[in-house]
Amino acid sequence: MEPLILAWLAPYLGTLLVMLLKDRGWKAKSAVAILSILTAALAATAAAWRVVEAGETIRWAVEWVPSLSVDIGVYFDGLSSLMALVVSWLSFLIAVYSYEYMEHEEGQTRYWIFFTFFVGSMMLLVLSDNLLTMFIGWEGTGLASYSLIGHWFSDEEEHWVGDPGRKALGKQMWFEPSHSGLRALVFTRLGDVGLIVGIATLHIAAGSTMFAAIAGGKWAPLLARSGVLLFFLWMLFLGAMAKSAQFPFHEWLVTAMTGPTSVSALIHAATMVKAGVYFFLRFAPFLVAAAYVLQGAVPGGAHTVAAFLQWMALIGGFTAFMLATMALVSRELKLILAFSTASQLGYMFLGAAAGTLVEGGLGGMYTGFAHLASHAIFKATLFLAAGAVIHAVHSRFIDDMGGLWEKMKITATSFILASLSLAGLPPFMGYWTKDEIIHISFQGALWVPAILSWVTAGLTAAYIARAFTRVFFGDKHWHVKEPHEPGPYMWAPYLTLGSLSLLLGIAWPLIAPTVEETLKHSMGVAALEVTLAPHLEAPLVPESTLLLALTALLATIYIYGVKRADLYAAAVKSRAWAALHAFLYDRWYVNSIYYWVFVDGTKALATLLKKYFDQLVIDNFYHKALPAATLWAVNFTANVLEKDWDALLHKHLVDAFKKAWRAFRSLQTGQLSDYIAYMWIGISLVVLLLCLVMGCKP
């Protein structure tokens, strides 16, 4: 047994222990949960150390289901060990925060059960060496998120997301926890069906579900020749798109804020949504290998792979832009951060796709992973700090905040540090990683996503500046007596992470080569590279991006912090601005359209089928028409056929006999002369008959 397996096993053991401790106090359950995650983090660190130091990959596995080539164990290569580090340490810090945050809340056992299950599943997903074990972890994160998003399942209003009573296109725009949990599960499982079809297809084409068997891309020619390659790639990535909330699956993520804030931090920073990006990074070198194999084998095959990556880049760029525009107008602190997450996930998709196109598998992996890590750190900080703010003012709306700097200096500092990283300012980590994505998109001549991502850099700086200015500066709008800092279990984690955004940013030029070197030891990276896109010079991109972000940031701070302008009040005076505001505030009406088309459509179809097919046609056919037809047939035979026959046999025949008898009786008159006459007639008839039959010869 390899002790490093504790990297995913320990949190699962934590789940079991928490169940056993269900009647014990909060301290005991928390200690078990936090320690189990710490164990995972230490195991991941030990493994990553070996991978980084010695440049080796660690694989330990036992067979689980040999007929499906499924095994279970741990696989630490460059990508998975770095990813495991990010996931486990962030989860640990968030767990520590939870200890204080959730102390007085309902459903404590349930909270830790699914928290540890979440972390265990995410670690299993990351550390699997085959598609099916990864998929099991993947589905585990789905279950845990479902439960945690719907943690407050009795749906009290304080846990809702959205403005109660608000409607867009006739559809409600507020979401209760139980509703949001359902949305998260249904949205992501739709994508998972695509993923499972993709896994099955790879299993067939490669004869195995092991990554090692897929990495070489040997499966691609078969699929290209069958004419399903592009469709297959879409399906394979559908799960990643849904999990990572890419358009058109982004809707579930923005309403997932109904869970405890610590859960939001966990979902957005460490687990769940990062799974899709991780999947993309894992497959980036495989896709390059597939393109390489296809190059000579199937005409146009490599182009299909490139075209698919261009689509992913476009979806990423579009998601980044679309969700950033929504974040500009939102009134809920957590919702701003949620829009921001989906937008940043768009950046990661764009980075992974553009990086792969321009620089091959390693390039995609590096670009995507760097931003994944930097986002994980600053977004965890933002959510955890936001949780402290929301607790302090007892409101989720930024309208009820303002001027909190005086009261919550640690929280404000952490939040602003992370905000600057998100805004992409140097020397924060976000500067390096986001800049890389925008730059590489221009280099690859992916013009539409490149421009969208460039504009989004400005929007990002603006929305996060709006958020922290309206929360921590300006006029005080809170209605509580004395907002105050939380205890150290809460602020220590986010202060640590906020500081890390800065420190890692300062050290990034030194760290980046190590990260890239480590990623080289990832599966499939050593494969031959092919050119899938041009590699242009992109002068002035970093400078102009920075200038844009800085301008947007300062302008927003000036408007909200110095001028203290009420842009909303000004905007709604004009009809066009009000319409634009509503469009953004109601999430481009995408949610309403989904409810009209999919929810109502399915409902209508189900009702119609039930009423007019199941009941009217099928039920009536078998249970009314068929019995009625049988009854009719019975009646018909009884009344028509049977009756006549009956009448013939039992009436007419009887009557005939009766008549004959009566006639016979009437003959018996008693007169001798009559008898003689009859006898004569009788004999004559018999003779006549005999004559006719035998032939009469007179």
Question: Closer to another protein at the Cβ: 19 or 448?
Answer: 19
Q: Which residues pair with 75 in a beta bridge?
A: 59
Nearest CA among 236, 444, 430, 451 for reference residue 356: 444
Q: Any idea which residue has 């359950």 for tokens?
A: 29
Could you give the C-alpha distances from 161 to 333, 469, 579, 589, 592, in angstroms and in order? 11, 22, 22, 16, 15
- The residues in 42-81 that bind another protein, with binding defined as CB under 8 A, are 63-68
- State the alpha helices, DSSP H only, in 229-332: 229-243, 251-254, 261-265, 273-297, 301-327
Question: Closer to another protein at the Cβ: 616 or 687?
Answer: 616
Nearest CA among 97, 152, 397 for reference residue 269: 97
Question: Closer to another protein at the Cβ: 197 or 550?
Answer: 197
Measured between alpha carbons, how far is 356 from 444 in angstroms, rounded to an integer?
Answer: 10
Distance of closest approach, residue 160 Cβ to another protein, in angstroms: 12
Q: Is 197 in the site for another protein (CB under 8 A)?
A: yes
Indicate the residue type of 16.
L
Q: Is 226 in the site for another protein (CB under 8 A)?
A: yes
Nearest CA among 448, 425, 433 for reference residue 547: 425
Q: Helix axis angle, 6-20 relative to 78-101, nearest 10°?
A: 30
Q: Any idea which residue has 């640590």 for tokens?
A: 496
x/- map, 612-631, another protein, by CB under 8 A: --x---xx--xx--------
Q: Is 182 in the site for another protein (CB under 8 A)?
A: yes
Q: Any idea which residue has 């460059």 for tokens?
A: 78
Q: Is 179 in the site for another protein (CB under 8 A)?
A: yes
| Number of residues counted as binding another protein (CB under 8 A) | 56
Q: Is 165 in the site for another protein (CB under 8 A)?
A: no
Q: Is 307 in the site for another protein (CB under 8 A)?
A: no
Question: Closer to another protein at the Cβ: 622 or 675?
Answer: 622
Measured between alpha carbons, how far is 326 from 332 in angstroms, rounded to an integer?
Answer: 11
* Cα angle: 369, vertex 231, 299; to 5 degrees: 95
Distance of closest approach, residue 197 Cβ to another protein, in angstroms: 5
Q: 69 with 209: CB under 8 angstroms?
A: yes
Span interacting with another protein, options 195-203, 240-248, 470-478, 568-576, rule CB under 8 A: 195-203
Could you give the C-alpha distances from 239 to 74, 186, 657, in angstroms and in order? 22, 12, 89
x/- map, 122-141, another protein, by CB under 8 A: ----------x--xx--xx-
Span interacting with another protein, options 212-220, 330-338, 382-390, 603-611, rule CB under 8 A: 603-611
Measured between alpha carbons, how far is 410 from 283 in angstroms, rounded to an integer?
Answer: 40
Indicate the residue type of 316.
G
Question: Closer to another protein at the Cβ: 194 or 368?
Answer: 194
Q: Is 193 in the site for another protein (CB under 8 A)?
A: yes
Distance of closest approach, residue 519 Cβ to another protein, in angstroms: 29
Distance of closest approach, residue 72 Cβ to another protein, in angstroms: 10
- State the alpha helices, DSSP H only, in 520-589: 541-557, 567-571, 575-585
Q: Which of 602, 637, 639, 684 binds another protein (CB under 8 A)?
A: 602
Residues that bind another protein (CB under 8 A): 63-68, 132, 135-136, 139-140, 142-143, 146, 150, 153-156, 176-179, 181-182, 185-186, 189-190, 193-194, 196-197, 199-201, 203-204, 226-228, 231-232, 235, 602-603, 605-607, 609-610, 614, 618-619, 622-623
